[in-house]
Amino acid sequence: MSPSDSNPLDDLPEDVHLAFRTAGWIPGQRRRGAKQDWWKEFSRALRVKLFGIRSRSDLSEEHLRKGEENFQEFPAAKHILDEMLGLTVEPLSKTGDSCPSPVIFDPSGGYAYYDEIYRLMEIVHSDLVPVGELMSLATILLARTGHVFLHGTTGPGILLAGNSFGEAMSRILHGQRKRPIYFTESENPEREFQLSHLDENDPWVLRVRDVINIKGKVITMPQR
């Protein structure tokens, strides 16, 4: 089964599983109701931004095809949002190489950044779905490949948080280092994704070529 079709909640590290249960997660129980189906609103905003289209009846066949290919909530993201929406998971450590952060499963903060998320999808060649945030500091983006990226919202920067949802949640909740991504000016001319003072020669800094078409890739993450 591909990462986009599997349920990421079935493969959580033991301590992350317990933290999720403590936060109120009941495995297999749907929390999201019809009024919380945020993805319809998110994709509508994307259509308006990209095509000037305000209703599905306005979409041409080409618009429909492109929208369904690029902006559809794939099953792995659906599992997370169905079962975790509205929950806040507290950190598992008090200190770390980066500050441990609560994970808030509310993707609505991604609304304000839909244009940047779409541009990032084009750069990394993968669908991305916002599934939550780190205390208004970053949006958590699940890739169709299973990898998890962080999109800085209080400052620029894109980081790889983990090769899988479970790994990313563990690293975030324990405050472990993530891998920042360096963008050249041609890759990101508006520089909205570039972390300041990022050394492209740092061995832990990823280049865009490292995260393009990463399906099946396991990228080495820092030990702490």
Per-residue pLDDT, 64: 46
Contact 155, 113 (CB under 8 A): no
User: Token pair of 133, please?
Assistant: 């945030």
Contact 83, 28 (CB under 8 A): yes
- Please write down the HEC assignment for all residues of 11-80: HCCHHHHHHHHHHCCCCCCCCCCHHHCHHHHHHHHHHHHHHCCCCHHHCCHHHHHHHHHHHCCCHHHHHH
Count CB-CB contacts under 10 A for residue 204: 12
Per-residue pLDDT, 4: 82
Per-residue pLDDT, 150: 94
Per-residue pLDDT, 22: 97
CA distance 216 to 219: 10
Rounded (to 5) percent helix, strand, coil in the chain: 40, 15, 45
Q: What is the pTM of this model?
A: 0.83
Per-residue pLDDT, 224: 62
Per-residue pLDDT, 65: 53
User: Token pair of 150, please?
Assistant: 């962080």
Per-residue pLDDT, 37: 61
Here the contacts of 23-28 (C-beta below 8 Å, separation 24 or greater) are 23/87, 23/88, 23/89, 23/90, 24/87, 25/83, 25/84, 25/87, 26/83, 27/83, 28/83
Chunked into runs of 10 residues, the chain (224 residues) has average pLDDT values of: 87 96 95 66 63 51 50 86 93 78 86 80 87 88 94 82 96 92 85 80 90 82 76
